[in-house]
A and B are shown apart, each in its own frame.
Chain A
């Protein structure tokens, strides 16, 4: 019973975040909302006028939209990693992040899911991409990785949502208990009749573990399939077997970076320093360092393969990446994803939150650029030299990308006011 006082304290501290919003918070919501609306307006304009408002062209048929898609799917990755994989491995520092990471996963997936639609030339026919029964007997092409994408992303979305929700049930009951009035009733409804009996807890633990086990292979599968969007093609720079592990590592790198980006300010603003100790953040930073090393290895392998292949198309492609028109982006990418994270070998820097925050932002930039470099440079220099051509994003594409960040932060800001940002029950267990 000596824990009950501190349990009360935990409940109070965590739920304090859900109190009446401050002006600063409202301003942030407004900003994010405006960005999102601006992005949607630009999308509307694109639907009305045609894809010509984007900078994509011939031969570069995919640009910022696909970059954004892969970027957001990547961000969505570490939620499952931190929640499910670390849960199975019983890594205790997980509790500091898992709720935020899971929420991030969901929101990033929502944002990511928009981009395949945004990039479609005829989005009003997007339902063609689903295998639905119809009298015209039209079917989707299961040889196309784009169809695999539809399944991979929707499966991941579904599992992540269930996992998030199940994990949330006991906490929802706490919120419902502490909130009187109609709001509490809504929370009560959402608990699906959770009373916290030992039988419920037993079932809960089993289900949660099962879901964690179920979600774990998805960490590998989703981004592997996303990488096959590229690897299955014949485009030099895309068509390579290392893409699946390379993309998964990259996804975890960008996901952990995004977790750091979100958690450090959240910890400070919501005064959760006691519950998210620096050592836990340091553990995440180590994952970041590890995945950064894997990604760097992939960079070296890629260039090496091209160099040794004797394949003119591959060689020109990788020469172009490093020395061609987009070389600046390539070298920023190398700096952000490979060189800067190496500094995390130094323990003091790993524990310096300000440094980690800046680094995580830079890794996010680097990972976005990585996808941009892969998508764009490969298309810009493929087989027929006559058809070579460069790509510059248009304002529409930049605006919609900004809008996607707006949507993401909007959802995240709403999340921290509506749901407990840390797993109260797990904190109590700790």
Chain B
């Protein structure tokens, strides 16, 4: 045997020994075998995209789910879905945090006598429920089912379930019930539902209180509409509100009015429009006679707007070809809510319905949703001991009912309280039995968020624990209680239903695309004159709220609060205040000066019946005597019920304000609310100055110019379109495994976001948002100072960070003028099972390393590999970073600058294009299009 042979033998033997000793019973289950194809067809290292539907809010946007190694790792908007057309908001992105939430309810829980929860098997839970149902029937108590908004086949099953068990199906509960709007539409047009508003087609959009971009009906849809409006100079969007919302921040004009005075404004608008020649013919004289008197001076006094502003508004409204007025949100959440909704509906009938600005045929399916009045009735019935078993599914009425309702107390009267939920909330805290629900990505199902749009739910991950889909749960319970059930399981039931309802082609479409559209009959909306007259007769406008008043405002980060427990959404700061964790109240700079308050000082707000203490955040542009209280800051965000509409009251008026002298440390991520005249977002003055500065002539350098062969990746961000919604930030967190570090590190200035939204306020309190991420400079200051070439410039213009080479001097971060580099101060770990939510395409980062935006290098890599297989270059639109993909406003474009046909080339050479801090000569690859 010679040396060569010996080494070959040695290699063979040791290889065989190593291979044969690799496996173990335990190990085999956990390792993905690379040699033997798996039974479920999952090939390691390849991705699969499956359609699904987002269940994080009632809008139900269409999803494409990226699956790696049998796990959903990323959600993206389905580009063809009629609701969201590719965009996905930050809550949608964060929905995966719900799927892998460490506190997900895992098995049925039973409350013991001492209040503690005990895990019980499903069989016991079902048996106990069945027995209790029977028991209460014997005692002639009513059993009831209270659920959040339910649509699709689940609705049918629930109907069947309730009727066969004699359970009363209560009106569905949604905290944002839009009850006032539905009531008015029901009264005037006999359609007690919510239409799809066509802001995309309007040339003048006037929104009164309706927070289109945050929580109103279908925020991603309306964001897309609003961005189309913003991109068109000829169209105009005007927002009226008492506080400061993200929606107001993004409207072309934002008018601040006294809270509660919206009714006076609408009345005056109706008066003045009805007298216009254009609308006089449509407006019945009978109604005109019934309209209460209104004049300019009184309206100006009530609303706090100047007469000039009002006249301008009215004339603009009258001139517009396709005006669209949308009322809602905080405008209907006060004692004048009913007149506001009614007058709004009349104005819509007069101005928007003729040109099709409201589409009732594509209604938002809110018809089964009730209001707080229904909850009040339930509470009374509970108090009268008439309810036996109460099921509460997918909603949190305890938190969202006003304290005066006393639901928490009356709930105790029910004989058995059963909660169905995926995460514990205020309501499950009151339940005797808590049944764990599966996530939308774990079960079969369908939804119908909008009439004619059917979305698909399919299991993309097996539930790790004992959680069940609501459908399966109903069927099991039915079998337990009656001995028979309509189907063996939910999937069978669903399939049967689908086969009855859809053709084979339709079904194929549903499976392939994840959604289905069914043409809906056009509805003709007629005004019921008699009822309108009666309503106008009864119209009673009360005085606006007494100032100082607090507006309890919904948040883009948590919708009605249901997404509060997703930590990712606390990690991403509120776009206007840049506060990440904790609660606060936003006050005007004048108020702060008067009360000598600074950011973080505690303020006591008090009325006779209500009080709250919150740290203040000074909000530029906020009206002087109006405070904005985010809903999430309060334990009970509804202060009362509007007896006329059943809407939750979300105001506190006649507040007594008193600083307590205490100070909280608020994680305010912005170092300064203003851009300090630095022209990061250029004003006309800056444009002139910059122009002077940039005429420096050619650049002098010792080093050769960077040369790019095939690709020079670049990004363009249209600030005109950007609304600061932070969907891109959430997408970036999930795509790039960016660590979520928590409040303590935020207070220390150690957030890890690769991409952030910087709000910059001007002297008038108007705000522009600047998304800031690594600029991938041609002459990157970080690259020159890294002693070990961990920061280096790759041949495609990307400024890449070689994690394993990084020694952690942090000089690159110090020298980065954009401050977009993030240092790993700790070894960041995610609590299981959140550690499963990991994009395996990215290298791991450990403590002591610098990291930053890579333009989603891994996604570019995938596109390049595909192109290479087909022996071509990557084409325009093939490689998209997660931020650009998620943007509902379409503000971010990405592509290859060397491709002169590409969209990015056109944008970069647009008149509006500029680069941030261009005077430093870094030559960023991120170009911004300035707002106009």
A residues adjacent to B (C-beta < 8 A):
49-52, 55-62, 119-123, 125-126, 128-129, 138-141, 143-147, 150, 232-235, 312-313, 316, 379, 382-389
Interface assignment of B497: CB less than 8 Å from any CB of chain A: no
Instruction: Say whether, besides A58-B750, A385-B674, A128 and B807 are in contact (CB < 8 Å).
Output: yes
Contact, CB under 8 Å: B819 / A141: no
Contacting residues, chain A, for B806 (C-beta < 8 A) = 121-122
Task: Give the residues in chain B near A59, CB-CB below 8 Å.
Answer: 671, 749, 813-814, 819
Task: Let me know if B766 is at the binding interface, CB within 8 A.
Answer: no
Tell me if B827 and A50 are in contact (CB < 8 A).
Answer: yes
Beta-carbon contacts of B723-763 to A below 8 Å, as 1s and 0s?
00000000000000000000001001111000010101000
Residue in contact with B751 in the complex, picked from A58, A120, A125, A140, CB distance below 8 Å: A58
Name the interface residues of B784-835: CB closer than 8 Å to any CB of A.
Answer: 784-789, 805-811, 813-815, 817-819, 822-827
The reply to whether A58 and B807 contact each other, CB–CB distance below 8 Å, is: no
Contacting pair A144 B826 (CB below 8 A): no
Out of A122, A140, A234, which one reaches B789, CB within 8 Å?
Answer: A140
**Beta-carbon contact of B678 and A385 below 8 Å:** yes
From A58, A144, A386, B772 is in contact (CB under 8 Å) with A386
List, in ascending order, chain B residues with CB within 8 A of A232's CB: 784-785
The answer to whether B819 and A145 touch across the interface, beta carbons within 8 angstroms, is no
Pair B786/A144 contact, Cβ less than 8 Å: yes
The answer to whether residues A141 and B750 also contact, given A62-B814, A121-B810 and a CB cut-off of 8 A, is no
Tell me the nearest residue of chain B to A126, going by C-beta. Answer: B807
Min CB distance B817 to A, Å, is 4
Tell me if B670 is interfacial: C-beta within 8 Å of chain A.
yes
| Shortest distance between the CB of A116 and any CB in chain B (Å) | 8
Q: Name the residue on B nearest A384 (C-beta).
A: B819
Question: Is B856 interfacial (CB 8 A cutoff)?
Answer: no
List chain A residues, Cβ under 8 A from B827.
50
A400 to B818, CA, bound (A): 31
CB distance from B794 to the nearest CB of A (A): 15
CB distance from A285 to the nearest CB of B (A): 37
Report the bound CA distance from A316 to B758 in whole Å: 20
- Complex Cα distance, B749 from A338, in Å, reads 34
B824 and A389: CB pair below 8 A? no
A143 to B670, CA, bound (A): 33
Task: Name the B residues within 8 Å of A120 (CB-CB).
Answer: 807-809, 848
Give the docked Cα–Cα distance between A388 and B745 (Å): 16
| Other-chain contact of A387, B781, B819, B825 (Cβ < 8 Å) | B819
Q: Which residue of A lies closest to B703 (CB)?
A: A143
Given contacts A129-B788, A383-B817, A385-B675, 5 further A-B pairs with CB under 8 A are A49-B847, A52-B825, A61-B823, A386-B772, A387-B671
A57 to B823: give the CA distance in the assembly, Å: 8
Q: Across the interface, do B786 and A58 meet the contact criterion of CB distance under 8 Å?
A: no
Say whether chain B's binding surface is mostly helix, strand, loop, or mixed. loop
Q: Give A166 Cβ to nearest chain B Cβ, in Å.
A: 32
Residue of chain A at shortest CB distance from B757: A386
Interfacial chain B residues near A145, Cβ < 8 Å? 785
Asked, given contacts A120-B807, A383-B917, A383-B920, whether A50 binds B825 with beta carbons under 8 Å apart, the answer is yes
Closest chain B residue to A145 by CB distance? B785
Q: Once the chains are docked, how many angstroms separate the CA of A92 from the CA of B826?
A: 55
> Which of B's residues lie within 8 Å of A, judged by CB?
578, 669-672, 674-678, 680, 745, 748-751, 756, 758, 760, 770, 772, 781, 784-789, 805-811, 813-815, 817-819, 822-827, 847-850, 917, 920
Instruction: Please report the C-alpha to C-alpha distance between residue A123 and residue B827 in the assembled complex, in whole angstroms.
Output: 15
Residues of chain B with a CB closer than 8 A to A312's CB: 676-678
Q: How far is the CB of B468 from chain A (nearest CB, A)?
A: 41
B928 nearest CB across to chain A (Å): 13
Q: Is the CB of B787 within 8 A of A61?
A: no
Smallest Cβ distance from B446 to chain A, in angstroms?
Answer: 44
Question: What 10 A-B pairs are tightest by C-beta distance, nearest first?
Answer: A121-B808, A388-B671, A121-B848, A61-B810, A52-B825, A387-B819, A385-B672, A57-B749, A50-B847, A122-B848
A57 touches B808 (CB 8 A): no
The CA-CA distance from A144 to B751 in the complex, in Å, is 27
Say whether A144 contacts B817, CB under 8 Å.
no
Interface-centre pick from B770, B805, B819, B849 (highest chain A CB count, 10 A): B819
Instruction: Pick from A49, A141, A379 the residue with the most CB of B within 10 Å.
Output: A141
**Which partner residue on chain B sits nearest A239 by CB separation?**
B815
List the B side residues contacting A382 at CB < 8 Å.
817, 819
Chain A interface main SS type:
loop
Q: Which residues of B contact A129 (CB under 8 A)?
A: 787-788, 807
Pair B814/A386 contact, Cβ less than 8 Å: no
Which B residues are in CB contact (< 8 Å) with A58?
A: 749-751, 813, 819, 822-823
Question: CA separation between A129 and B807, bound complex, in Å?
Answer: 8
Q: Kindly identify which residue among B751, B758, B787 contacts A146, using a CB–CB cutoff of 8 Å.
A: B787
With A and B bound together, what is the CA distance between A388 and B809 in angstroms?
20
Say whether A141 contacts B787, CB under 8 Å.
yes
Complexed CA–CA distance, A385 and B772 (Å) = 12
Contact A121:B849 (CB < 8 A) given known A51-B825, A62-B814: yes
Question: Which residues of A sit under 8 angstroms from B826, Cβ to Cβ?
Answer: 49-50, 52
B758, A384: Cβ atoms closer than 8 Å? yes
In the bound assembly, the distance between CA atoms of A386 and B788 in angstroms comes to 29
Chain B minimum-CB-distance residue to A229: B811
A138-B792 Cα distance, complex, nearest whole Å: 13
**B749 x A62 contact (CB < 8 A):** no
Which single residue of chain B is at the shortest CB-CB distance from A380?
B671
> In the bound complex, do residue B849 and residue A386 qualify as a contact, i.e. CB atoms below 8 Å apart?
no
The CA-CA distance from A146 to B822 in the complex, in Å, is: 20
The reply to whether B787 and A140 form a contact with Cβ atoms under 8 Å apart is yes
A57-B750, A129-B787, A233-B781 in contact; A62/B671 too (CB < 8 A)?
no
Instruction: State A321–B670 Cα separation when bound (angstroms).
Output: 20
Given A120-B807, A120-B808: A384 touches B788 (CB 8 Å cut-off): no
| 17 residue pairs from A and B, CB less than 8 Å apart | A52-B750, A52-B847, A59-B819, A61-B811, A119-B809, A120-B808, A121-B806, A121-B809, A122-B808, A138-B788, A143-B784, A144-B786, A150-B787, A233-B811, A383-B818, A385-B678, A386-B760
Q: A144-B811, A146-B811, A388-B671 are contacts. A138–B676 as well, Cβ < 8 Å?
A: no
Give B802's nearest chain A residue, CB to CB: A138
**Would you call A384 and B823 a contact (CB within 8 A)?**
no
A121 — which chain B residues lie within 8 A by C-beta? 806-810, 823-824, 847-850
Q: How far is the CB of B95 from chain A (nearest CB, A)?
A: 28
Residues of B within 8 A of A385 (CB): 670-672, 674-676, 678, 680, 760
Across the interface, B784 reaches (CB within 8 A) one of A138, A144, A150, namely A144
* A115→B825 CA distance, assembly (Å): 18
Contact: A62 with B815, CB < 8 Å? no
Least CB distance from B27 to A in Å reads 29
Q: Within the complex, which residue of A50, A55, A60, A235 is in contact with B824, where a contact is CB–CB below 8 Å?
A: A50
Known: A61-B814, A121-B847, A312-B678. A389 touches B807 (CB 8 A): no
CA gap between A121 and B803 in the complex, in Å: 12
Whole-angstrom CA separation of A138 from B787 in the bound complex: 11
Asked if A389 and B749 make an inter-chain contact with CB atoms under 8 angstroms apart, the answer reads yes
Q: With a CB–CB cut-off of 8 A, which chain A residues contact B787?
A: 128-129, 140-141, 144, 146-147, 150
Q: Which of B671, B677, B784, B827 has the most CB of A within 10 A?
A: B671
CB distance from B593 to the nearest CB of A (A): 20
Write out the residue numbers on chain A whose beta carbons fall within 8 Å of the beta carbon of B824.
Answer: 50, 121
Structural contact, B748 and A57, CB atoms closer than 8 A: yes
Smallest beta-carbon distance B679→chain A, Å: 9
Interface centre among A316, A379, A384, A387 (most CB of B within 10 A): A384
Q: Check A146 against B817 for contact (C-beta < 8 Å).
A: no
B677 to A, closest residue via Cβ: A312
How many Å from the CB of B801 to the closest CB on chain A?
13
Contact A234:B670 (CB < 8 A) given known A52-B825, A58-B823, A129-B787: no
A234-B822 contact in complex given A50-B847, A384-B817, C-beta closer than 8 Å: no
Tell me which residues across on chain A come within 8 A of B675, comparing CB atoms. 385
> Given the known A-B contacts A122-B808, A144-B785, are A234 and B920 also in contact in the complex, defined by CB atoms under 8 Å?
yes
User: Considering the chains assembled together, what is the distance between the CA atoms of A150 and B850 in angstroms?
Assistant: 21
Find chain A residues with CB under 8 A from B750 CB.
Answer: 52, 57-58
